Amino acid sequence: MGGLLKCTAAEMPLSPTALAAGRDGKTLFVACATANQVLRVDISSRKVVACFETPNVPTGLSLSADGSKLAVTCAGPESKVLIIETADGEVVASLAAGHTAMAPVFSPDGQTVLVCNRFNHDVSVLDLSAREVRRRLPVQREPVASALTRNGRYLLVANLLHNGAADADNVAAVVSVLDVAKGVLLKELRLPIGSGSLNDIALSPDGKYAFVSHLLSRYPLPATQLDRGWMNTNAGTLIDVETLEVINTVLLDSVDSGAANPWGVAWSSDSATLAVAHAGTHEVSVIDFPALRARLAKIPATPSAASSSNDSFASRCQADVPNDLSFLVGLRHRVRLPNTDRGPRAIAFVGSLLVTANYFSDTLSIISEKMVTASIALAEPRPMTLARKGEFYFHDASICFQGWQSCASCHPGDARMDALNWDLLNDGTGNPKNNKSLLLVHRTPPAMSLGVRETAEMAVRAGIRHILFTEQPAEVADSMDEYLKSLRPVPSPNLVNGKLSPAAERGQKIFQTAGCADCHPPGLFTDLNRYDVGTRGQLDRAADQLDTPTLLEIWRTAPYLHDGSAVTVRDVVTSRNREDRHGKTSNLAPQDIEDLCTYLNSL
Sites of contact with another protein (CB under 8 A): 166-171, 192-194, 216, 218-222, 224-225, 227-230, 233, 251, 253-257, 303, 309-314, 320, 322-326, 329, 336, 399, 401-402, 421, 423, 425, 429-432, 465-466, 469-471, 539
In contact, 289 and 253? CB cutoff 8 Å: no
Nearest distance in Å: CB 54, another protein: 40
Nearest distance in Å: CB 468, another protein: 9
Cβ proximity to another protein, 113 vs 252, nearer residue = 252
Cβ proximity to another protein, 230 vs 531, nearer residue = 230
In contact, 485 and 497? CB cutoff 8 Å: no
Ramachandran bin of 306, using left for φ above 0, alpha for ψ from -120 to 50, beta for the remaining angles: alpha
Cβ proximity to another protein, 52 vs 560, nearer residue = 560
CA distances from 441 to 265, 316, 417 (A): 33, 45, 12
- Residue closest to 322 by CA, chosen among 250, 372, 417: 250
Cβ proximity to another protein, 243 vs 308, nearer residue = 308
Nearest distance in Å: CB 396, another protein: 13
Name every residue whose Cβ is closer than 8 Å to that of residue 305 and which is 6 or more positions away in sequence: none
In contact, 383 and 360? CB cutoff 8 Å: no
Cβ proximity to another protein, 257 vs 586, nearer residue = 257
Q: Measured between alpha carbons, how far is 160 from 249 in angstroms, rounded to an integer?
A: 16
Q: Measured between alpha carbons, how far is 254 from 276 in angstroms, rounded to an integer?
A: 15
Nearest distance in Å: CB 281, another protein: 12
Strands (DSSP E) contained in 330-370 are: 332-336, 344-350, 353-358, 363-368
Nearest distance in Å: CB 457, another protein: 17
Cβ proximity to another protein, 184 vs 539, nearer residue = 539
- Residue closest to 553 by CA, chosen among 502, 509, 493: 493
Core vs surface per residue 153-187: b (16+ CB within 10 A) or e: ebbbbbbbbbbbbbbeeebbbbbbbbebeeeebee
Nearest distance in Å: CB 485, another protein: 25
Cβ proximity to another protein, 325 vs 347, nearer residue = 325
Nearest distance in Å: CB 568, another protein: 19
CA distances from 4 to 19, 30, 36, 90 (A): 19, 15, 13, 8
Cβ proximity to another protein, 129 vs 308, nearer residue = 308
Nearest distance in Å: CB 539, another protein: 6
Cβ proximity to another protein, 50 vs 223, nearer residue = 223
State CA 266 to chain mean position distance.
Answer: 17
The 3-class SS string of 220-231 reads CCECCCCHHHCC
In contact, 344 and 334? CB cutoff 8 Å: no
Nearest distance in Å: CB 63, another protein: 35
The tally of CA atoms less than 13 A away on the side-chain side of residue 289 is 24
Nearest distance in Å: CB 299, another protein: 14
Nearest distance in Å: CB 256, another protein: 6
Cβ proximity to another protein, 257 vs 529, nearer residue = 257
In contact, 410 and 420? CB cutoff 8 Å: yes
In contact, 345 and 357? CB cutoff 8 Å: yes
Nearest distance in Å: CB 218, another protein: 5
Strands (DSSP E) contained in 180-312 are: 184-190, 195-203, 209-217, 232-240, 245-251, 262-267, 273-278, 283-288
Name every residue whose Cβ is closer than 8 Å to that of residue 213 and which is 6 or more positions away in sequence: 198, 199, 200, 201, 235, 236, 252, 262, 263, 264, 265, 276
Nearest distance in Å: CB 169, another protein: 5
Nearest distance in Å: CB 538, another protein: 8
Paired sense of beta strands 91-96 and 80-85, if any: antiparallel
Cβ proximity to another protein, 469 vs 531, nearer residue = 469
Name every residue whose Cβ is closer than 8 Å to that of residue 193 and which is 6 or more positions away in sequence: 170, 171, 172
Cβ proximity to another protein, 471 vs 579, nearer residue = 471
Nearest distance in Å: CB 306, another protein: 14
Cβ proximity to another protein, 67 vs 537, nearer residue = 537
In contact, 274 and 265? CB cutoff 8 Å: yes
Q: What is the DSSP string of 438-501?
A: -TTTTTS-SBSTT--BSSHHHHHHHHHHHTS-----HHHHHHHHHHHHH--PPPPTT-BTTB--
CA distances from 413 to 77, 100, 506, 510 (A): 16, 12, 31, 31
Core vs surface per residue 192-211: b (16+ CB within 10 A) or e: bbbbbbbbbbbbbeeeebbb
Cβ proximity to another protein, 11 vs 169, nearer residue = 169
What type of residue sits at position 587? N
Cβ proximity to another protein, 202 vs 250, nearer residue = 250
